[in-house]
Each structure stands twice: as structure tokens, then as C-alpha cells.
Amino acid sequence: MASSPILSLASSTASSALPCRRRFLHNLKATSNQMTFLGNDHINSKQSFFRTSMSVAVENSKFTDITMAPPDPILGVSEAFRADTNEMKLNLGVGAYRTEDLQPYVLNVVKKAETLMLEWAENKEYLPIEGLAAFNKATAELLFGTENPVILQQRVATVQGLSGTGSLRLAAALIERYFPSSKVLISSPTWGNHKNIFNDARVPWSEYRYYDPKTVGLDFDGMISDIKAAPEGSFVLLHGCAHNPTGIDPTPEQWEIIADVIQEKNHIPFFDVAYQGFASGSLDKDASSVRMFAARGLELLIAQSYSKNLGLYAERIGAINVVCSSSDVAHRVKSQLKRLARPMYSNPPIHGARIVANIVGNSDLFSEWKEEMASMAGRIKSVRKKLYDSLCAKDNSGKDWSFILKQIGMFSFTGLNKAQSDNMTNKWHVYMTKDGRISLAGLSSANCEYLADAIIDSYHNVS
Ligand code: PGU
């Protein structure tokens, strides 16, 4: 018996080197194993009572049918990255901005706003369900422009959300409750979490063609015909700018045609705006698709996020806006968004909302933000160019890498397949999503050549 691997695991010498809490759990697990092996008869009654209750607790869990969930395709990449000890490792998985030294970046303008907030020593009372009024005003004005008729006519129902994800989720709950027979059309491919959001909200969805691997560009005809073919009154999820993961946006002319078809089919446009200001460096330019739809008098939904453009990732600050045909409708829609939010999370957090409201509401801070945003967007553009130059200089196969320069925003969709992406990680320690997306925001000029070597090797030597 003593030589049994199970029993020897339970021996006190093996466990004594472990820290206290781990030792307890270790013994607990070993005890349960031991129980299975020995059976109750061999143990005296005092021990038996203790061990049986422990064993029952471990073995008869009500949760045994819960299987292990797979790692998240995006956030799970960062976990794997942290576990890698190789010096050359690069985290190009999550879309989070890094400095040239590959350090996380807190914008100076955010630090200034926080210093002011500390001086004012504001309280931490609950916000109203719809969020901070000054934030809701600022966020809608940033999206549409202060003079936009939808703002002046009070036709926008704005509710502060838990960043982009929470705002999309709230909109999904609204769709599920008030449009139970409608589905959402999602681009193929799209940000990995979109499908989860609609699945969990029990909103049916289907895909429209978006990316054409042959041209490494937009499959515009496919997109249009799929939107046309969808049942009337569908919600069409569109990326306002810097499409994730492809980095390919429709041209202004193509946006007009998309709007024509959506209007013809009585569909409802639903924008996800997670990168306003981050794509082009200009807040106004990056909102032009949304503003064009609003100018047509359409009703539409827009989820916003301040994770990227203000670097407020962990503050979870964003909003859901519903543009309605009248202020009366907007009023009612807002009341229902609040009703949905209340049992989900009651009311949103205040800190990020104050930061945004204070920056947008102060002309000096606002100008400083625009400069910092343009410089973040500029750094990404410059590593994009350097990566392209390195690929051209090192690869003599004649492959055309110019698609990388045509993509915009944080990401580059490299065209690498899953096996090739695995090679990037396993051989080169470059962490990225398995759809071939790399976040250029996690790249520095110093690493462009290394990344080019990794891409060329994976592209040519792995099928
Ligand atoms: N919508 C799109 C298109 C996004 O790319 C993201 C973030 C979001 C919404 C949600 O961001 P919030 O932080 O909730 O505002 N996508 C990043 C971040 C990591 C993740 O998947 O959440 C990404 O790497 O794709």
C-alpha cells in the first residue's frame, strides 16, 4: 500500500514543503483519493467522520457536471504570454496600446483629469441607472457632433454602459425583449466576442460576407447581397471604423450603398464604435459612417467604448445610444434600457465616466487628448510601415505585402492560417489570435524585423 502512488502523494513529507493553504488543499485531495482506495472500514471512527465529510465535499460536488471552459480566444492569449519565459516573446494578441518600450500607457490627459478629481474630492454615491449625466451628454456629442439635429432634437437615448462589451450586451437585451423575431447580421469575420454576446442574450444571428481572402480586401458584393437577402427588419451590426479583425473599412461611397440597402430593406443599423479617433487619429473622421446614417433620418443603435481611445480599458466606460424618430420615442427607449440595466448590474461605475466628462468638458484637456490620440495612432501607423518594409526587404518570394499598408487601426489581418499562427507562437514566441490577427499596438520598431522573420517563416514553411 505504502508504495501506491496515490498514498505516497498523501504522505506528510511530500506535502510539508507546500505553503499552508496549498498544503491543506493538497491533503484534502489526497485524503479523498485515499478514501476511495481504502474504504471506510479501515479507518477509526473519529478520523472517518472527518475524512468522510471532507471526501463527500470533494467527490459529491453539485458542480461535477460543469466541464472546463476553453480559454478565451483573445484574453486567453495574454495568459499564455505571461507563462512564456522566452526573452523575445511578443504579445500581439489583445488590442491594447503599448509604448515603444512595450509598456502599458496611461494618457497624460487622464492623469491630469484624475488629479483634478482628487482635488475636488467628489463622493462615491450610486450613479443613476442611466449613468453620469455629464458623461452621457459628452459621449453622444462626441459621436454625432454638438450641432447634429439628432442631438438638438433630443432624439438620442443614451445610457452609460460597461464599456463597449456591456453596451452591446444591453442593446442585445433590448433586441431580445422588443424584437424577438428579428436577427442580427454579423460580419464574417468579426470581433470574437460578438457572437457570445448575442448567444448569451438569446438573439439569433447570421453572418454576412465581409473579407475576401483572394483580394485580402472587402468582399463588397458579397456583403451587399447578404444584407439584401436577410429578412426585412434585421439588425445589421457594422464596425463604425477600423474593422476588427480585418482592419478593412468600406470607402465613403461603399458606406452610402450599404446605407441604401439597409434603408430599402427596412433593416436597423447597429454600429459598434470601439475605435473612434484611433483609426485615423481624428474623432470626427472616425464617426463619419455613423453620422452619415443619422443624417439620412434613420433610427440606429451605436455602442461606444473608451477602452482604446482614452486607454481606459479597466474602467469599463462606454455607452449605448439609440437614435429614434422623435424625442418622445427616445424617452421611452431610454426608460426600457434602464429597466434592463437595473437587474443586470443596477448602475454603472463612476470613475471612468468622470474622466471622460472632465476631459471632453474642458477645452485644454480636450485638445490635449486629441494630440495624444493622434500620436498613439501615429505610432501604430509607423510600426505598420516598418513591418511592411521589413517584410519586403527580407522576403524574396515576390509576395505582395502591400495589403498590410491598406489596413487601418490597431490590427493587421496577416492572412496566416491556424497552423501558421501556431508556428508564430510555438516557434517564435509571437502571441496572436488564431485567426491570423496581430495587434500592431503591441509592437515596437525594434521588434519589426523579428516579427517579419516570424511571418515569412510561418507563411512559407508551414501550410
Ligand atoms: N467592439 C470591438 C470591435 C472591439 O474590438 C472590442 C475590444 C470591444 C467592442 C469591447 O471593448 P471594451 O473593452 O469592452 O470596450 N476588443 C479588443 C479587446 C479585448 C477583448 O476582446 O475584449 C480586442 O483585442 O479585440
Each residue's pLDDT tens digit, 145-184: 999 999 999 999 999 999 999 999 999 999 999 999 999 9
Q: What's the confidence (pLDDT) of residue 170?
A: 98
Do the Cβ atoms of 367 and 429 come closer than 8 Å?
no
pLDDT given at position 28? 41
Rounded to the nearest 5 percent, the helix, strand and coil shares of the chain are: 50, 10, 35
pLDDT of residue 181: 93
Q: Tell me which residue has cell 465535499.
A: 57
pTM: 0.87
Please give the pLDDT value at position 216. Answer: 86
φ, ψ of residue 172 to 5 degrees: the values are -60, -40
Exposure class string for 179-202: b at 16+ Cβ within 10 A, else e: eeebbbbbbebbbbbbeebbeebe
Instruction: Supply the residues annotated as catalytic.
Output: 191, 272, 308
d(CA 241, CA 54): 55
Residue whose grid cell is 473579407 = 211
Residue whose CA lies nearest to ligand 1 atom number 21: 74
Is any ligand 1 atom within 6 A of the Cβ of residue 193?
yes
Distance CA(56)–CA(31), nearest Å, equals 11
CATH number listed for the domain at residues 75-105+377-461? 3.90.1150.10
The pLDDT of residue 13 = 35
Chain segment 307-358, per-residue pLDDT in tens = 999 999 999 999 999 999 999 999 999 999 999 999 999 999 999 999 999 9
Lowest mean per-residue pLDDT among 42-56, 199-213, 276-290: 42-56
pLDDT of residue 278: 87
The rounded Å distance from CA 188 to ligand 1 centre is 16
**Spatial contact of 136 and 108, defined as CB atoms under 8 Å apart:** no
SS3 at position 267: coil
**Alpha carbon of 244 to ligand 1 centroid (Å):** 9
Q: Is 428 left (phi over 0), alpha (psi -120 to 50) or beta?
A: alpha
pLDDT for residue 298? 97
* Rounded average pLDDT over 287-315: 98
- Per-residue pLDDT at 51: 53
Beta-strand ranges (E) seen in 23-79 are none
Asked if residue 241 lies in contact with residue 276, where contact means CB atoms within 8 angstroms, the answer is yes
Q: Kind and range of the H or E element at 77?
A: helix 75-83
| Residues of the chain above pLDDT 70, percent | 87
Ligand 1 center from residue 228 Cα (angstroms): 28
297 versus 5: which is more confidently predicted?
Answer: 297
Determine the residue type at 253.
E
Chain centroid to Cα 418, Å, comes to 20
Burial 44-59 (b: 16+ CB within 10 A, else e): eeeeeeebeebbeeee
Instruction: Give the chain's length.
Output: 463
pLDDT, position 32? 40
Q: How far is the CA of 319 from the centre of ligand 1 (A)?
A: 14
85 secondary structure, DSSP code: -
Asked whether 160 lines ligand 1 (CB < 6 A), one says: no
Residue 256 is predicted with a pLDDT of 98
Q: Look at residue 40 and tell me whether its pLDDT is greater than 70.
A: no
pLDDT exceeds cutoff 70 at 290: yes
446: its cell numbers? 525594434
Mean pLDDT of 215-227: 96
Q: Contact, 413 vs 407, CB < 8 A? A: yes
164 lines ligand 1 (CB under 6 A): yes
Rounded CA-CA distance 304/287 in Å is 11
Break the chain into its structural domains and give their ranges. 5-59, 75-105+377-461, 128-361
Question: Do 75-105+377-461 and 128-361 agree at the fold level?
Answer: no
Residue 347: HSE in the Cβ half-sphere, 13 Å Cα cutoff: 13
The average confidence (pLDDT) of the chain is 89
Architecture of the structural domain at 128-361:
3-Layer(aba) Sandwich (3.40)
Average pLDDT over residues 221-238: 98
- 439 Cα nearest atom in ligand 1: 24
Segment 116-126 mean pLDDT: 94
Cell of 168: 452591446
Sheet with strand 317-323: strands edge to edge: 156-162, 317-323, 300-305, 268-273, 235-239, 184-188, 205-209
Structure confidence at residue 189 as a pLDDT band (50, 70, 90): very high
- Band (pLDDT 50/70/90 cuts) for residue 384 is very high
Q: Which residues contact 333 (CB under 8 A, 6 or more apart)?
A: 157, 174, 322, 324
